[in-house]
Amino acid sequence: MRLTALLVAALMWLAPLPALAQDAAAIVAENREQIEKPSRQTIGPVIAALAASGDPMADDILTAWEDRRLVIRKSDQAMFIAVTEGDGFALTALDGTAAGSAVAADVTALKPNAGVRGLIATALVQFTLSDPDPTIRADALASIARDPTAEALEPLRASLVSEEDPVLKAQKERLERFLTLRFDADPAARVAAIESLGTDTSLDVRAALNPLVATKRVASLGDPPGNLARTLVPGTDLTTVEAYDILVAASLAPARLTLEDQRAALLANIVDGSVGGIPVAALNTQEARNRAYTALEVAGTVPTAATDDEVTAALAAHSFHEVYVEPDATVTSAATATLAAIDRKVAFMQAADLGLDALSLAAIFFLAAIGLAITFGVMGVINMAHGEFITMGAYTGFVVQLFVPDYTLSILIALPVAFAVTFGAGVAMERLVIRHLYKRPLETLLATFGISIALQQILKNVFGTQARPLTAPGWLDGALEFNDVVSISYIRIAIFVLALIFLMFFLYLMKRTRLGLEVRAVTQNPAMAASMGINPDRINMLTFGLGSGIAGIAGVAIGLYAKVTSEMGADYIVQSFMTVVVGGVGNVWGTLAGATMIGSLQKVIEFLNPSNTLAAQTYMILFIILFIQFRPRGIIALRGRAAGD
């Protein structure tokens, strides 16, 4: 088969030369007998001659032959290409001219066997790989990639010379390397193909290289057979049972004798009070029973089987090894080195992907916590209902989408509407409850916790317990993919950008506006601020409303990523408080640092323990408890008078 393939390939290389162009019909006529009764061993040169003829009809003849549409007319034994037409066939002569029609009874179809059809298909590869239609060439590449064979290698190489489409040429070159590393007879060519893939981390590259480093376990009496990967020690690298099973599978030792089988065999062969020449009374030790069974084996009375002593002896007499399935050591060495380089690069990319996940999660935590950074960090109010303001924002987005079907427009409308709804809810909560509980943190915590439960129940009554869809615009579908390993969804990118916008907005508000100046003044010294004409009650109301409104906007953003239910806010309230406390109460940069630290920590723990997300939450809380013991004021602690409050 290899000789035939090489002959086909050699003739294909010569096919473009006009001086060697031949008449396909003449080739068929010269080899008529072999074509009518083909043999895989002898038909190869004929198929190769047709493929290399340069005659445009060669493709049609080979295709018709493969499809069993090459027929012989009974009346004159002429050969035609047949196409079904009604109850009969339309005939085409081998030179391409029309030859009328014939009924099915007047023709005999040539029916090559599977082996011959395989040779024909190989020969046809050159036509499809060099077809003027790029779609046909792409389909041919896809077909070879699905079912790669050694016979396709040389035609693929030949087609590279004439390929003008840069995309298809790159695909051909890549597929040629895959076929080379598997099928090329020259080890140096295989090694070169393997090394050329050293920087490619695609899954198909690793899938192509892994079979080259696959191993099998073997046993031998002397030197290890084949391409040695490592020597195995029974009892250390594999169990003695596994080792002996290898001997049995290789027919190097008989099957192990079980005690039950031995006892049954000895009982069945008691003759005149002895077994194998040993008196029954003397069979009171395992050693004696083993000797009796061995005697029965020698006599041919029982099947050969190994006793424990024989098993031990057989294991000691043989050595055990892992050998590569690939026989060439240079190929396995190159594949091992290339896979190691790819694994290092993949590990780096996994770290980068984990970093992107951590940043996107940090952005989500920052959005959820920035409103709390105002109400808790600046005002000192422990608002346990902060999560429900996030939920209200998400449900506001859902309601807006019920009336505005354009998802892009609905999100743009939902953001300010969610701010207005939660701002109003926050102002109402501050006026009715919070203002009466300033400087009383325990009562504030209990009151806001009760409000949280009440809001959850109200949302359940209004929207039900089923998750509601908050659909992202189409341009946020999919992900930004850098390679097979590193990617990030467009929704997470949008949340990250929104978090940066809020960071800049908060900094501008607190540092560059009159409201920010008044908030800082009331926070540091309410009495002095009041004496300067600032109304502390009004500032507290606006500050609490601002924090609640930002939570509503965060709810819209988070709702695009997470499920929208009445318990949605509860999933973020703990992380929000941890973000503010760990980062440093009252400092927006601290909130950012806390979100980054908690998001990164959670992703690392989930990566190390991917099957248990609850454990990840537990470990994270334990770590934060320890962190606070050593840095109670957070990563970025307040200084001056505010730090002492």
CA distance 546 to 542: 6
Mean predicted confidence (pLDDT) in 26-54? 79
List, for residues 80-99, the tens digit of each pLDDT value.
888 888 878 888 888 888 88
CB 568 within 8 A of CB 552: no
Query: What average pLDDT does this structure show over 584-603?
Result: 81
3-state secondary structure of 51: helix
Structure confidence by residue, pLDDT tens digits, 365-411: 888 888 787 777 667 788 888 889 999 999 999 999 999 888 889 98
Q: Is the model's pLDDT at 283 over the cut of 90?
A: no
**pLDDT top residue among 360 and 3:** 360
Asked whether the beta carbons of 394 and 559 are under 8 A apart, the reply is yes
Q: Give per-residue pLDDT as tens, 554-566.
A: 889 888 888 888 8
Asked whether the predicted pLDDT for residue 532 surpasses 70, the reply is yes
- pLDDT, residue 413, reads 92
Only one residue has tokens 């030949």, namely: 158
How, if at all, do strands 215-220 and 88-93 pair?
unpaired
Structure token digits, residue 632: 């109670």
**Distance (Å, whole) CA 587 – CA 592:** 9
Phi, psi of 279, deg, nearest 5: -60, 145
pLDDT of 178 above 60: yes
